[in-house]
Amino acid sequence: MKVLHLGICVVVLVSLAGCSAMGLGSKPIDYKAGAGQVPSIEVPPGLTAPVTDDTYKVEGAEGESVATYSSYAKDKGATAVEQHRSAEPAPAVLAPVKGVSLERDGTQRYLKVDEPAEKVWPVVKSFVNEAGFKVQNEDQAAGIIETDWTENRARDNKDSGILTRIFNGLFSTGERDRYRIRLERSKDGTSTNVYVTHYGKEEVLDSTGTTTNWQSRPNDPEMEAEMLQRLMVRFGVNPAEAAVATAQGGPAASGSANLVQIFDGSSIIVINDAFDKSWRRVGLAIEKTGLVVEDKDREKGIYYVHTPVAKSGWLQKLEFWKDEDTAQHFRVNVKDNGASCDVSMADMNGESSNEARQQLEAIYKNINQ
């Protein structure tokens, strides 16, 4: 048995010695190196390379081959989206309309637009849709757009209580309004007149007092004027200038000042004068009002003012540092519109409070003086 064990050990030692001599004992085998030494297969003379079949070849969006189906689907999907976008028509952009003025014919007011009816019609139709009205009748050949009956909740939200404003859908104002907008082409065809007519209905009780009926009510010129004002703004007119023109029924006189309320509820002063004169007039009016100018920025058109603080005793007069704590601070903005200027007033947070509106009315009175 010992002889057998000894023989096995001798065989193992001889084998290890042989591997070390061949260089395979400690160095790992490099399969890449071995593969690189094999010469490439060459086509014998007289033969041609085999033609590959592209039947099952998967190509990408630009013709290059891809390795996975997910890459192929991604490329094809992106190409389909690009083709779809290129096939979509570009959104129509309404061209700006210039030369809009408000004219008066007796008691009727209308807009005169220095453009043919073909250009005015898309703007008017877009305005009706943006205002939230549902079109009931439309006749482009006749130039007529009639809206459906709509409940006017603006008056209800202003005059009713808080419960009505909270549960708005549970209450009815009992009034319905509709508008008829008519376009009339001028004789030479270079301009278009736009007329707005208001129709109203109201819900009234019958003689029994148990049921209600809808009856016609007179048209409201103020609501027609508001629609004309909004339509002027849609045509590109400055909101303040549109408010003044609607209130006066025509262009304002040079140098005049008017306190107008635009359709968003805020009030502004419109001075029909250049910025230099308007800036000086506003500064003098602020001094006459009694407001204290603490700073001003003519380039931005801003007066920084605050209300004066009354001090009775001599001790309070010495406490000058308390002026900033008790005074109300405002900003008076003078906006240059070229031929006119808009004057607005707000607190330091940019909000038009009741106090700011009262101070603006006081400034307006001193401007007219």
Here the CATH number for the domain that contains residue 119 is 3.30.530.50
Among 190, 206, 237, give the residue marking a domain's end.
Answer: 237
pLDDT of residue 30: 45
Q: Are residues 311 and 197 in the same domain?
A: no
Q: Is there a contact between 203 and 172 (Cβ–Cβ < 8 Å)?
A: yes
Number of domains present in the structure of the chain = 2
pLDDT of residue 157: 47
What is the secondary structure of 33-97 as a DSSP string? HHHHTSPPP-PPTT--PPPPP-TT--B-TTS-B-SSHHHHHHHHHHHHHHHHHHHSPPPP-PPP-
Q: Is there a contact between 337 and 238 (Cβ–Cβ < 8 Å)?
A: yes
Q: DSSP code of 311? A: -
Percent helix, strand and coil across the chain, each to the nearest 5: 40, 25, 35
pLDDT of residue 344: 92
pLDDT of residue 39: 56
Q: Are residues 227 and 276 in the same domain?
A: no
pLDDT of residue 275: 92
pLDDT of residue 145: 94
Q: Is there a contact between 360 and 344 (Cβ–Cβ < 8 Å)?
A: yes
In a domain, 265, yes or no: yes
Which residues, other chains included, contact 212 with Cβ-Cβ below 8 Å and sequence gap of 6+?
Answer: 203, 204, 205, 206
Distances (CA, A) of 106 to 36, 49, 103, 244: 102, 96, 10, 18
In a domain, 285, yes or no: yes
Q: Are residues 217 and 333 in the same domain?
A: no
Domain extent at residue 114 = 100-237
Q: Are residues 230 and 263 in the same domain?
A: no
In a domain, 59, yes or no: no
What SS3 class is residue 306? strand
Q: Are residues 305 and 358 in the same domain?
A: yes
Here the CATH number for the domain that contains residue 297 is 3.30.310.170
The C-alpha atoms of residue 126 and residue 234 are separated, in whole angstroms, by 9
pLDDT of residue 109: 85
In a domain, 269, yes or no: yes
Q: Are residues 344 and 292 in the same domain?
A: yes
The C-alpha atoms of residue 220 and residue 224 are separated, in whole angstroms, by 7
Q: Are residues 107 and 224 in the same domain?
A: yes
Q: DSSP code of 234? A: H
Among 182, 208, 237, give the residue marking a domain's end.
Answer: 237
Distance of CA 42 to the CA centre of its chain: 71
In a domain, 6, yes or no: no
In a domain, 246, yes or no: no
Q: Are residues 261 and 185 in the same domain?
A: no
Among 202, 237, 272, give the residue marking a domain's end.
Answer: 237
**Average pLDDT, 10 consecutive residues per value, the chain (369 residues):** 58 57 45 49 58 51 51 52 45 58 80 93 94 90 90 54 45 80 87 91 82 84 88 89 75 76 79 90 88 90 86 55 68 90 90 88 86
Q: Are residues 196 and 277 in the same domain?
A: no
Q: Are residues 106 and 188 in the same domain?
A: yes
Q: Are residues 194 and 297 in the same domain?
A: no
In a domain, 174, yes or no: yes
Q: Are residues 148 and 193 in the same domain?
A: yes
pLDDT of residue 329: 92
In a domain, 78, yes or no: no
